[in-house]
Amino acid sequence: MMSTATENLKALDLDITEKDILKAEEIKALANKLFSDHKYNDAVEQYTLAISYNPKVPAYYTNRAICYLKTEFYGAAVRDADKAIELDKNYVKGYYRRAVGNMALGNFKEAVKDFRNVCKVAPNDRDARLKLIECEKEFKRIEFEKAIACDEHFDIVERIGNVDEIVLEQSYSGPHLPSEGGITLEFIKEMMECFKTQGKLHRKYVLKLLMEVKQQLEKLESLVDITIPSNGKITVCGDIHGQYYDLLNIFEKNGLPSETNMYLFNGDFVDRGSFSVECILTLLSFKLLYPNAMHLSRGNHEANDMNKVYGFEGEVVAKYNELTFKLFSEVFNAVPLGQVIGGKILVIHGGLFSRDDVSLDEVILKIFLLNLTKICVKLRKINRFRQPGHEGLMCELLWSDPQPELGRSPSKRGVGIQFGPDVTENFLKFNNLDLLIRSHEVKQDGYTADHNGKCITIFSAPNYCDSVGNKGAYIHITPDLKLKYNQFVAVSHPQNVKPMQYAGNM
């Protein structure tokens, strides 16, 4: 006897057989198991297969949507939620998943609408109610700031005032920044040990460090050229996402930064992990100490809208105050967008662009103009001293991802694009480059080599968010531009601090 659900389904689509329906349910059960095991990409494949057998079940789309949310493909999650709602206007999970996806993308107006729908249908859903309150608050804040916006520049340094006048409490027992001669390696080591035991650096020293490094970073171009000394190497690390104890493990395995043991951290220093303050202060301190040996590229999480949702703002406010966060934000605006190693390897956080006429510098521009009499866009000339926004060259550089297919596609993240091997090949050839190194994506082995080995992804946050189980990795690059991949596993951290601890209801 055919079930009522099956009969309804048959009425919708006569091409779907009962065998298809049963097969889809069998595959969904496997996908659910993969999701429970945190194998989100594998679960996506199985939900997609279930949908191919039976595309009329809203739950298949919302289940795949939560996998996309877990892997930060928010645009894809929103599209799946749209499909679920299209199939069933009363399907509350569709509205909930779409709201969470839009909230992650900073689309608070759309998220508020959907959370209101959820709360009407499920008034006792405490989680939805709390998220609605947070989204409403954030949407009102954004609208208020738009209303009072003016052309005057808000000088955060002037607002903070003379940091030297801040008094150290007698109870403070942490490290002291030298009053003369600038930052020292000894101070950084003491600070790292203090952080290791969950101690805090005094706000006075935090503000001094941030002001000094802000001035240093502001003098750099948006793309920084790096030359590796003949007796040294540079280590390229991907996302660390506030996983301080894994950062310490990198330094333990690979040595502290020095003039010959150079580092490049390729964005997403903060958010998700709840030791983001400790991570970024350590990296910025080494940047002050070794300006030519510690290099930083901005990631998509060095942005206010991401910090609001994924915990860094909450962490800074909890450990210091809101004014300190605003100074961090100004520092992030000054972090370069990428590096060029040895003139041949471009390192940026996300990926490539929705247009072909993107060059690195003026020399290429002149050749291009001479040959084709067409103006191209220069990466070195991007005005980076701002928030990245959700479109344009700077946004794409921070958000885009590679795809195996040729050409370009809309991003599953909802921001940036996806670019194929032909796009990578053409960009590298046009700019006389050999290789693109980027980060931005969790990889089970810590790295991948895509696009015929021309597009490398490196990710340095092992067991991401204490749940994914991935390895971390970093790359050694020698003066002759040879690459060596190094993998590592996660180390333990204090169990009283969980990922996203400071994100609150967001």
Rg (the chain; Cα; Å): 24
Q: What angle do CA 46, 114, 101 make, to 5 degrees?
A: 45
Give pLDDT tens digits for 214-264. Answer: 999 999 999 999 999 999 999 999 999 999 999 999 999 999 999 999 999
Residue 211 has pLDDT above 50, yes or no: yes
Choice among 158-162, 304-308, 358-362, 427-431 with the minimum mean pLDDT: 358-362
Give the strand pairing for 447-450 and 417-419.
unpaired
Residue 378 has pLDDT above 90, yes or no: no
Q: How confident is the model at residue 142 (pLDDT cuts 50, 70, 90)?
A: confident
The mean of the pLDDT values for the chain is 91
Residue 6 has pLDDT above 80, yes or no: no
Q: What is the pLDDT of residue 9?
A: 46
Choice among 16-25, 155-164, 287-296, 329-338 with the minimum mean pLDDT: 155-164
3-state SS, residue 401: strand
Q: What is the pLDDT of residue 72?
A: 87
Give pLDDT tens digits for 437-475. Answer: 999 999 999 999 999 999 999 999 999 999 889 999 999
Name the more confident of 154 and 287: 287
Does the 199-350+379-488 domain belong in CATH 3.40.50.2000?
Answer: no
Q: What is the pLDDT of residue 506?
A: 66
Tell me which of 202, 241, 301, 349 is the catalytic residue: 301
Q: What is the pLDDT of residue 217?
A: 98
Residues across the chain: 506
φ and ψ of 501, to 5 deg: -60, -30
Q: Any idea where the domains of the chain sit in the sequence?
A: 4-147, 199-350+379-488
Active-site residue, 301 included: yes
Q: What is the pLDDT of residue 141?
A: 81
Instruction: Please write down the HEC assignment for all residues of 261-303.
Output: EEEEECCCCCCCCCCHHHHHHHHHHHHHHCCCCEEECCCCCCC
Residue 8 has pLDDT above 70, yes or no: no
Q: What is the pLDDT of residue 376?
A: 61
Residue 11 has pLDDT above 90, yes or no: no
**Cβ atoms of 359 and 369 closer than 8 Å:** no
CA distance 313 to 305: 9
**Cβ atoms of 447 and 456 closer than 8 Å:** yes
Q: How confident is the model at residue 144 (pLDDT cuts 50, 70, 90)?
A: confident
The encoded tokens of residue 12 equal: 């919708």
Q: What is the pLDDT of residue 154?
A: 65
Contacts of 40 (CB under 8 A, 6+ apart): 34, 67, 70, 71, 468
Residue 373 has pLDDT above 60, yes or no: no
CA distance 338 to 350: 10
3-state SS, residue 340: strand
Q: What is the pLDDT of residue 222?
A: 94
Q: What is the mean pLDDT of residues 346-369?
A: 77
| Residue type present at position 208 | K
> What proportion of the chain, given as a percentage, has pLDDT over 90?
80
| CATH of region 4-147 | 1.25.40.10
Q: What is the mean pLDDT of residues 320-345?
A: 97
Q: What is the pLDDT of residue 202?
A: 97
Q: What is the pLDDT of residue 153?
A: 59
Name the more confident of 370 and 504: 504
Choice among 189-198, 352-361, 415-424, 450-459 with the minimum mean pLDDT: 352-361
Residue 148 has pLDDT above 70, yes or no: no
Residue 55 has pLDDT above 90, yes or no: yes
Q: What is the mean pLDDT of residues 105-123?
A: 92
Q: What angle do CA 392, 396, 400 make, to 5 degrees?
A: 155
CA distance 73 to 443: 14
Q: What is the mean pLDDT of residues 59-77?
A: 95
Q: How confident is the model at residue 366 (pLDDT cuts 50, 70, 90)?
A: very low
Q: What is the pLDDT of residue 138?
A: 85
Q: What is the mean pLDDT of residues 152-161?
A: 76
Residue 381 has pLDDT above 90, yes or no: no
Q: What is the mean pLDDT of residues 403-409?
A: 97
